[in-house]
């Protein structure tokens, strides 16, 4: 293994008790843990890598387990809590405003906004919780009450908050209060965070419009909450779609396929 085996085994134990880990993922993790009598730590991890590989190739692992798999193979990005850097520097102006949305893993929430005219920056981070400066491990473990979210800094002369909200509704399953698609857990719940009364009015009206359209068989459960402190995520989470384009495209393909299926299902 290219990473320290003992550190990886400690992370394995954390994944076992992580509520976001799926049952069948947990089964493989527990199986690897219980092999310590027959295999060395390196042997345990090699066997687990082989067991997870078919699922990892199809991007069918939850984000934490996928990161663990990449660490086993020596491909994990190095976590850091340094100053956040994004692909485009931001310059504060009287016309710059911000919007904050949560809709599943923030890796897939950046690119759809980032490619629009008038967007100055899209930052991945955490909000809605009680802890200060939460880490990815703490949030994904559901210890802090935060959700993964994106903070969008935009020029209000070029793109409106209404347009951003309209984009947001196209990216999520608004009937799922327990996560989004393959992302399960309270840290992935869909939320529109409003910064002022104007944003609140637009968010409420947009939600009512989705309800009135009756395009979904289940209730619309997207929460609308006041914006709290937004904590930028670690640098290796920023601009994920640019840093890991192949992995992002696989995730996006799965994401888009599910949303297309959902629209087709609700149509009939």
Burial of 74 (0-12, 13-18, 19+ CB in 10 A): exposed
Burial of 254 (0-12, 13-18, 19+ CB in 10 A): middle
> Is 108 annotated as catalytic?
no
Please report which helix (H) or strand (E) contains residue 10, including its range: helix 5-17
**How many CA atoms, within 13 angstroms, populate the side-chain half-sphere of residue 66?**
19
Tell me how far apart the alpha carbons of residues 259 and 244 are, in angstroms, rounded to a whole number.
22
Please identify which of the residues 72, 102, 105, 192 carries the catalytic annotation.
105
Q: Which residues of 43-55 are buried (b: 16+ CB within 10 A; e: fewer)?
A: ebbbbbbebbeeb
Residue positions annotated with a catalytic role: 105
């Amino acid at each position: 293994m290219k990473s320290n085996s003992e550190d990886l085994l400690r992370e394995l134990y954390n994944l076992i008790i992580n509520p976001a880990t799926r049952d069948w993922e947990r089964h493989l993790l527990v199986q690897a843990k219980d092999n310590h009598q027959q295999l060395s730590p390196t042997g345990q991890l090699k066997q687990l890598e082989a067991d997870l590989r078919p699922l990892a190739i199809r991007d069918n692992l939850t984000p934490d387990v996928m990161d663990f798999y990449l660490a086993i193979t020596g491909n994990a990005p190095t976590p850091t809590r340094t100053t956040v850097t994004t692909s485009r520097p931001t310059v504060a102006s009287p016309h710059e405003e911000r919007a904050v949305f949560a809709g599943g893993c923030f890796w897939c929430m950046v690119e759809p906004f980032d490619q629009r005219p008038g967007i100055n920056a899209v930052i991945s981070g955490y909000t809605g919780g009680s802890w200060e400066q939460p880490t990815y491990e703490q949030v994904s473990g559901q210890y802090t009450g935060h959700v993964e979210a994106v903070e969008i800094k935009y020029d209000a002369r070029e793109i409106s908050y209404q347009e951003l909200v309209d984009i947001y509704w196209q990216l999520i399953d608004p009937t799922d209060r327990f996560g989004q698609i393959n992302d399960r857990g309270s840290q992935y719940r869909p939320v529109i965070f409003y910064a002022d009364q104007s944003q609140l009015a637009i968010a409420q009206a947009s939600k009512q419009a989705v309800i009135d359209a009756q395009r979904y068989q289940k209730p619309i459960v997207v929460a609308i909450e006041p914006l709290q402190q937004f904590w930028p995520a670690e640098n290796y989470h920023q601009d994920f779609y640019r840093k890991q384009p192949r992995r992002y495209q696989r995730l996006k393909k799965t994401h888009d396929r599910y949303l297309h299926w959902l629209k087709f299902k609700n149509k009939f």
